[in-house]
Structure 1
Amino acid sequence: MKKKSLRFLCLISVITTSLSLTACNAAKNRDITKEPSSTESGELVSAPTYNPVRPEVGNNEEKKTPTEEPKKEIPSTTINKPVEKAPIKTESSNQHGTTSSNEDKTTEKLDYRNLNNTKISWWFKPNKLHVTPEVNMKIGFDLNKYDACYVGDTDKKVLYMTFDEGYENGYTGKILDTLKENDVKAIFFVTLPYLKGNPDLIKRMVDEGHIVANHTNHHPSMPTVTVTEEKFNKELKDVEDEYSKIIGKEMPKFFRPPMGEYSEKSLAMTKNLGYKTVFWSFAYHDWDINKQPDPVKAKKTILDGLHNGSIMLIHAVSKTNTEILGDVIKEAKAQGYEFELLKDN
């Protein structure tokens, strides 16, 4: 009887040890297969994980975007300043994802049905050499085919300032003041909730010569909304309609994919709506309002990244950006750079 009990206890011990080892190995496997965060490598700057819903200060949890907002009657206004037309583009700028004036433009719709819808995240590799950075161009297709760009004219010392606006954090007015003081025009990529919530700021942007452009309704990863043409188009057209209510004119056809996520299929569908897709060749970690960069370091980061034709992505929710914007503009001009608006084809 004692021998049977001893064998039984040994068997229980073996089973327990085996289960512990299995659980331990499973935990190790989860750690091994965990996708590293973008900050671990420190080599590439990928698209920001910015969410257009204002988070609580001091709290990393973000509020959910309401599906519908109460509609307000917003008086329209007539703007006399037209959207600037395209200058002559050189062939040398064509290699960087800009469109040459020598290309034949056509209104024929692209057949996107069989195009690849694999999600691609935009990234660039920063350098301090003041030259166009390396970007993820090994994607199997030409950005120019879909009227997408990430730099402007690289033959001269020109910069293109762009702001992404998902929610208002109280700084846009000051940013507009600074731009006006320094005679700089910019593109503001806005979401539908931003348009509805800030019609006066939108009017001021347009009145002062800036371009207000499309950043979608719900800020989705664009490959996820290609399921139907109706769903995809609605993300952009709802923004267009609201802009027209506020301004009384059609929205300029510039588009920035939320989070920099796109696919060949989504680019084709965007072009079919008449849009130029605008990526960027400079950005930095400025979108987290709870972890704002040091102003001195931020200013150096921006100035180190200047290069001919740079499309600069800046988030207007940033307190740091608001504080250093004037100094950045003045220093860039002192280095011989000019600021221009992107052209629409």
Structure 2
Amino acid sequence: MQKKYAFALAALFVAVTSLNVVAQNHNCSECFSWYTVPTKNEVRPTSFEAGDIIKNYNCVYLGREDKKRIYLTFDAGYENGNVEKTLDALKKHEVKGAFFVLPHFIKQNPLLIKRMIDEGHLVCNHTTSHRDMSKINSAEQFQNELLGVEEIFREQTGKEMSKFYRPPEGRFSEENLKTADKLGYTTVFWSLAYADWDNDKQMDPEKAKQLILSRVHNGCVMLLHPTSSTNATILDDLIVKLKERGYEFCSLDEFE
């Protein structure tokens, strides 16, 4: 199950090399794929092609330039012991994160979901089926993808899910953004990510830590996979070093 999910997510980072948003040509003239251009020396990336589209909707990808803030976000499809370790590191340093989850994660890990809520994290929407959302042509289908997760979360917890949504693989259309807005959701992209999703091809922990420390920037929306053994190893020290540099960790519901 874990390898199957990791393989399915591989496509997510085929383009994790730029923060540009680029139109794809697969019978969809308004389909886009979000990806980030790696930077160095704490330089902020810049968005390009779809900037004029995204600014018209409730979207998050990069915070204020004059604030040394970091927003930690995690895409969680399953648990392999590392999600719990991730939560341990966050609790130790009193850092809040946003976890984008799928229905089966909610069903299979009720205690982890409860812990996320109890410790002040946001539990957010990663869709019902983890499909390419840009290929959805009807508002009803799109709505079902989001409301399906909401319903399962409500059944399991008795609470309402946080109104943040991340499209699988960073794939979206303008209609997606429009419908998400109507449903009261903020669409969340990212400004920093790296190839951490494949548990069989994990980056050396020290190399990964230095890579993140080089690419981090003011207003950083960081995407990590909490199933990564490398991330579970480095997160504790990474938080310490980023705080030493003067960065403040903020929740998405404090975004600016």
TM-score after normalising by structure 2 = 0.87
Distance 2:64 2:98 in 1: 16
Distance 2:233 2:129 in 1: 29
Question: 8 Å contact 1:117–1:266 — kept in the other structure?
Answer: no
Question: 8 Å contact 2:89–2:236 — kept in the other structure?
Answer: yes
Distance 2:195 2:175 in 1: 29
1:207 aligns with 2:118: yes
Question: 8 Å contact 1:159–1:309 — kept in the other structure?
Answer: yes
1:260 aligns with 2:170: yes
Change (3 A) 1:130 1:344: closer
After TM superposition, the structure 1 stretch with the greater mean CA deviation from structure 2, 266-275 or 293-302, is 266-275
CA shift at 1:144, angstroms? 2.5
Aligned partner of 1:194 among 93, 105, 108: 105
Aligned partner of 2:243 among 325, 329, 333: 333
If you compute each CA radius of gyration, which structure gives the higher value, 1 or 2? Answer: 1
Aligned partner of 1:162 among 62, 73, 82: 73
Match of 1:287 in 2: 197
Match of 1:54 in 2: 2
Flag structure 2 segments of 5+ consecutive residues without an equivalent.
Answer: 9-18, 20-27
Aligned partner of 1:246 among 156, 163, 166: 156
1:296 aligns with 2:244: no
1:125 aligns with 2:22: no
CA shift at 1:219, angstroms? 0.4
Q: Partner of 1:343: helix, strand, or coil? A: helix
Flag structure 1 segments of 5+ consecutive residues without an equivalent.
Answer: 1-52, 63-95, 97-115
Higher RCO (CA 8 Å, separation ≥ 6 residues): 2
Query: What letter is aligned with 2:216?
Result: L
After TM superposition, which residue ranges in structure 1, 4 or more long, deviate above 4 angstroms?
none
Deviations 1:35-89 (A, max 9, x none): xxxxxxxxxxxxxxxxxx52169xx977xxxxxxxxxxxxxxxxxxxxxxxxxxx
Query: What letter is aligned with 1:131?
Result: V
Question: 8 Å contact 1:276–1:344 — kept in the other structure?
Answer: no
Question: 8 Å contact 1:253–1:275 — kept in the other structure?
Answer: yes
CA shift at 1:154, angstroms? 2.5
Match of 2:93 in 1: 182
Match of 1:275 in 2: 185
Change (3 A) 1:117 1:252: farther
CA shift at 1:228, angstroms? 2.4
Distance 1:133 1:152 in 2: 11
Matches within 5 A, 1:81-100: none
TM-score after normalising by structure 1 = 0.65
Distance 1:208 1:313 in 2: 20
Change (3 A) 1:267 1:61: closer
CA shift at 1:193, angstroms? 1.3
Query: What letter is aligned with 1:293?
Result: M
Question: 8 Å contact 1:178–1:325 — kept in the other structure?
Answer: yes
Distance 2:36 2:7 in 1: 28
Change (3 A) 1:125 1:240: same
Distance 1:133 1:294 in 2: 24
Question: 8 Å contact 2:39–2:215 — kept in the other structure?
Answer: yes
Query: What letter is aligned with 2:31?
Result: K
Distance 1:177 1:230 in 2: 39
The alignment of Structure 1 onto Structure 2 pairs a total of residues equal to 237
Match of 2:139 in 1: 229
Distance 2:197 2:33 in 1: 17
Aligned partner of 1:315 among 225, 238, 242: 225
Root-mean-square deviation (Å): 2.1
Question: 8 Å contact 1:217–1:236 — kept in the other structure?
Answer: yes
